[in-house]
Every structure is written in C-alpha cells, then in structure tokens.
C-alpha cells in the first residue's frame, strides 16, 4: 500500500484529525490517539490488538506485522505500510475507531467496502 492510500483509509473515518504523538505524525479522533506513523520502520501503530491476535498476525504475515519491546505490554501491533493489505488496515482501524469515537458517530457509521 502507498502512503497516499494509507492516509486516505485513515481519513475516511469520521472525525479523524491529523496531529502528532511523541513528535511523530499521528491521527486522532476528538483528541484521542487513533494511529501513528513510525518513520524508523515505515510502520503504523495499530491499537486494540490483544497478545493472542498479535501473535497470530505476526506468524501469518511476518513481513507485515511485527512488534518492538516498547509495545509488547500494550494491546497493539505494528504494521509495515508497504506490505499491509488495505482491507486489513481498515478492519483494524475500524475496531479502534469504534472504541474512541463519539457514540452518535458510531451509531451513524456506515463502513466502507475496502478490498
């Protein structure tokens, strides 16, 4: 996936705003962390991914999903943008968005069809 495709998917969720997190480009919903870019390995930080699911993702797609010691105790996984499937990105972001978005926005939300 390209940076432009990635950005379009992230910004397709209602209320997403660009900002920074730890001095890096990030995306937030109502000031809450949504995802951020990691320039050091051209990855995204994806939240709401428990340890079992993270292990499964890393085993199934090791070229895409990985973790660093910093993130091991958080419900998250890192995903390399260049090999990340757009549908996978959308699904993982939707889970996070539903958790942090305003209830009215979640209720009105119509998911996109990403292939």
Is the per-residue pLDDT at 113 higher than 80?
Answer: no
Q: Is the pTM of this model over 0.75?
A: yes
Query: Residue range 9-25: average pLDDT?
Result: 93
The per-residue pLDDT for range 74-100, each reduced to its tens digit, is 999 999 999 999 999 999 999 999 999
Alpha helices by DSSP H, the chain: 3-11, 51-60, 86-100, 103-108
Q: Where are the domains of the chain?
A: 3-105
Query: Residue range 14-34: average pLDDT?
Result: 93
Pick the CATH number of 3-105 from 1.10.8.870, 3.90.1150.30, 1.10.1040.10, 3.40.50.12780: 3.90.1150.30
Which of the four pLDDT bands, split at 50, 70 and 90, describes residue 115?
low
Q: What angle do CA 47, 36, 1 make, to 5 degrees?
A: 95
């Amino acid at each position: 996936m390209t940076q432009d495709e990635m950005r379009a998917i992230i910004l397709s969720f209602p209320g997403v705003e660009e900002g920074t997190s730890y001095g890096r480009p990030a995306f937030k919903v109502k000031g809450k962390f949504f995802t951020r870019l990691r320039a050091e390995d051209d990855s995204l930080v994806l939240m709401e991914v428990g340890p079992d699911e993270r292990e499964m993702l890393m085993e199934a797609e090791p070229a895409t999903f990985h973790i660093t010691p910093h993130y091991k105790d958080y419900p998250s996984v890192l995903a390399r943008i260049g090999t990340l499937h757009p549908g996978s990105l959308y699904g993982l972001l939707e889970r996070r968005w539903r958790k942090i978005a305003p209830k009215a926005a979640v209720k009105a939300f119509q998911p996109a069809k990403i292939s």
